[in-house]
Amino acid sequence: MTRIQILGAESVLAVGIANSTTVDKATVVRVLNDSGSDVVLHVQDSSFSGIGSITLPDGTSEQIQKNASDLIYGIGGALKVAKVGFTN
């Protein structure tokens, strides 16, 4: 059984590319969308080149794996993010 290890405090990620963050150089990020609308989560590398994006429907959470230097940001609403890991 895999469990989530909390490695940092949850914070609010404001909307927009200007608010891009590594989430304290996390390699796994728990993302919660409780904004009231669907939000598109974008991942980009440290050179600000896009890697990919996914839509997070309102009321959902996902664990996003990324490189420590990769940045994330959201469009469409604020997200809650936290640095996490996995443990057995």
Does 15 reside within a domain?
no
Does 3 reside within a domain?
no
> What's the average model confidence in pLDDT over 39-56?
97
Cα angle 60, 48, 82; round to 5? 35
CA dist list (Å): 26 to 58, 81, 82, 84:
23, 10, 8, 7
Cβ 63 vs Cβ 5: under 8 Å: no
Q: Which domain holds residue 26?
A: 21-77
Residue 73 belongs to domain with CATH number: 2.60.40
Cβ 11 vs Cβ 83: under 8 Å: no
Does 63 reside within a domain?
yes
Overall number of domains in the chain: 1
Backbone angles phi, psi at 18, to 5 degrees: -65, -15
Does 16 reside within a domain?
no
Does 26 reside within a domain?
yes
User: Residue 88: pLDDT band by 50, 70, 90 thresholds?
Assistant: confident
Does 65 reside within a domain?
yes
The proportion of the chain whose per-residue pLDDT surpasses 90, expressed as a percent, equals 93
